[in-house]
Amino acid sequence: MVTQAQIKSVIEDMLKDFIEQNGFELVDIEYVKEGSNWFLRVYADKEGGIDIDDCGRISEYLSTKLDEHDPISDAYFLEVSSPGAERPLKKLQDYHKAINSHVFVTTYEQIDGSKEFEGLLLAFDGEELIVEVGKKKHILPFAKVASARLAIVF
């Protein structure tokens, strides 16, 4: 059985040149089972935002590559889409780009009495995030961050 990490790595390798040549950014890849169905989800973006035609181009290219190499033995649905307005922060560069943006961060353990922080990302130095929630600044060790994403302020 091929692991999810192996599938992610294979898909990244398949898409790397195409993504770079077309000015896209590969945000995330998921291979998940929902009910009885498997889904291969690719999230991409580009400066100014990705549109449905861009997603179609990526999907068509990846479908051809997947047919050629057939790295996944299970039947699955391929979905290519934008990461959305509440884009996940996965890579270090995502955190740097998100400085001065509203974020939602969860931690593995309580910090300052909470495991959830929604506020303005003031700084990130690779080791710690500083998130301002209300008027209080929280210093979150990056090693304790379980997940993070951009958050929409209503």
The neighbour count for residue 72, using CB atoms within 10 Å, is 17
Q: What is the mean pLDDT of residues 16-24?
A: 95
What's the whole-number mean pLDDT along residues 117-132? 96
The band of 150, judged by pLDDT with boundaries at 50, 70 and 90, is: very high
> What range defines the domain where residue 104 resides?
92-150
Q: Do 107 and 136 fall within a single domain?
A: yes
Cβ–Cβ < 8 Å for 69, 129:
no
Strand 37-46 to strand 24-34: parallel, antiparallel, or no bridges (unpaired)? antiparallel
Judge whether 87 lies within some domain: no
Of 104, 113, 97, 98, residue with least CA distance to 145:
104
Tell me the pLDDT tens digit for each residue of 35-54: 999 999 999 999 888 999 99
Number of domains comprising the chain: 2
CA angle (120 as vertex; 115, 123 as ends), nearest 5: 90
**CATH number of the domain enclosing 129:** 2.30.30.180
Whether 86 is covered by a domain: the verdict is no
* pLDDT recorded at residue 1: 61
124 with 73, same domain: the answer is no
Does residue 128 contact residue 135 with C-beta atoms inside 8 Å? Answer: no
Do 109 and 66 belong to one domain? no
Residue 70 sits in the same domain as residue 20: yes
Are 59 and 99 part of one and the same domain?
no
| pLDDT tens column, 72-112 | 888 999 999 999 889 999 889 999 999 999 999 999 999 99
